[in-house]
Amino acid sequence: MKNNIVEYCLKKQGATEDYPFGFTPIVLKVADKMFAIIFEEKGKDIRLNLKCDPVIAENLREQHACVRPGYHMNKKHWNSITIDGSLPECDIFDMIDHSYDMVFKKLPKSVRASIAELN
């Protein structure tokens, strides 16, 4: 599942993979702004941190036990999703889309335009 998540994230316009903290976690960025972080610990489920609108974040946390406030992040604006098989892959991809869109929309117009020109 981790490979599917990384592959999906890297298909986003201007997305890059980075390791600013060492071998782990995997950080996925657009224009040097994080939109996804993948934590992987031996013997544990993968955790995926994603940016999220605060209202939607609360709703997701109420609806899904695997969605919690962001691990090592601003708890209001980030969720941590435990990848334990309880959420369909399409729902996880929808959350990735939302996170990417939130970060992308906050980029300066000139940066957004230059990223759009890459594709």
CB atoms within 10 A of CB 6: 16
- What's the pLDDT tens digit per position in 55-81? 999 999 999 999 999 888 888 899 999
% of the chain at pLDDT higher than 70: 99
List of residues 6+ apart from 61 with CB closer than 8 A = 67, 68, 69, 79
Report the pLDDT value the prediction gives residue 75, as an integer from 0 to 100.
Answer: 86
